Amino acid sequence: MHGKLPQWTRDITHVLAQPPGTPQLQALTDWLGRLGLVDHFVLFVYEGRYLPLPLFDTVPPHLRPLFVEEYQAGAYRLDPFFLACEGGEVEGLHSLQRLAPAGFAGSEYVQGYYRRLGLGEELGFFTQLEGRGRAVLSLMRRRGRGDYSRRQRRLLRSAVPVVDEVVRSAWMRHLRQEPQVAYELDRRVCEAIERFGEGLLSPRERQVARLVLKGYASSAIAELLAITPGTVKVHRKNLYDKLGIGSQSELFGLFVRGLRRGAGSSGTR
C-alpha cells in the first residue's frame, strides 16, 4: 500500500488539477455526483443588490428557462438559500428544508415556482467570496429518489474545503474575464420589469405586477402600496385576465419569454 494514494485523495487531486472555472467545476460536480446521487447542480453567486449570477450548472437546456431564468426574474427573492445569504454568516453544507421558515410548504415560492422544479430534496454548499458576495452550489435531487442518507451527507460535508476552493477560484477567474456581466444583466432585467405591461395594464396593475415579479408576497405588496390584501388579490386577478394567464408561475414565464426576446416591455404572449 505504500505510495498508493487513497481513492478520495486521488479524486481531490484530479479536481484541483483542472483549470479554474468550468473545467474545474465540471470535475467537482462529477466527483460530488459520485458521493451522492445528484440530478442537477446549479451554482449561483449573490452579490449585494445585483441579480443572482449563474456561474455554472448542469441543467439540460430545455429546463434552463425554469431552473435559471425564471429564478433570476424574481423567484429567488423567496428562496431560503438566498435569504440565508442575505441574513447571516451561513457556511458549509445545509439542506433547503432546514433553512426554510415555518409554513414553507404552503408558501407562494413553493406553490408558484418550486413545486414545478420536481425536486424531492436540495442541499447547498455555501461559500463566502471576496467582498460581500456569497455563492451557493445547489445539489438537486428529483422527487421520488429519496433523501440523502447520513453517510452521503457526511461525505459531502467532508468535501466543503474542496468546494470552497473551486468555487472561489471560479469566481476570481470570472471577475478577471467578465467583470460587467452581472451588472449588465441586472440592468436589463430591472428595465424590463419597469416596462412590463405598458399599454395593457392600468398603473396600479403594473405596480402589482412589478412587485410580484420582484418576488413579493401579496401581504407585502398590500403593505407597500397601503391597500388591503383583498384589493391586491383583485388586481392580480385583473392583470392575469388581461395577460391571458392564470397564475404567478405563468407571469414569471411570460416575463422571461419577453426578456429572452428583448421585448420584456410588451407583457404579451
Longest dimension (CA), the chain: 76
Supply 149's cell numbers. 442518507
The strand pair at 40-46 and 119-128 is best described as: unpaired
Q: Give pLDDT tens digits for 62-93.
A: 999 899 988 887 888 889 999 999 887 689 99
Q: 181-261, which class in CATH?
A: mainly alpha
Contact 264, 255 (CB under 8 A): yes
195 CB-side CA count, 13 A: 14
Predicted local distance difference test score (pLDDT) of residue 180: 54
Contact 53, 181 (CB under 8 A): yes
Q: Give pLDDT tens digits for 175-224.
A: 887 655 555 556 677 788 888 888 899 999 999 998 888 777 788 888 88
How do the domains of the chain map onto residue ranges? 7-177, 181-261
Q: Give pLDDT tens digits for 88-112.
A: 768 999 999 899 888 888 887 888 8
Predicted local distance difference test score (pLDDT) of residue 164: 96
Per the rule left: phi > 0, alpha: psi between -120 and 50, beta: everything else, 262 is left
Contact 26, 57 (CB under 8 A): no
Question: What angle, rounded to 10 degrees, do the helices at 22-35 and 160-177 form?
Answer: 160
Instruction: Report the side by side order of strands in the sheet with 92-95.
Output: 53-57, 40-46, 134-142, 119-128, 92-95
Reported pTM? 0.71
Q: Indicate if the pLDDT at residue 121 is higher than 80.
A: yes
Mean pLDDT of the chain, nearest integer:
85
Give the CATH number of domain 7-177: 3.30.450.80
Rounded Cα distance, 234 and 150, in Å? 47
Identify the three-state secondary structure at position 54. Answer: strand
Q: Indicate if the pLDDT at residue 48 is higher than 50.
A: yes
Contact 139, 36 (CB under 8 A): yes
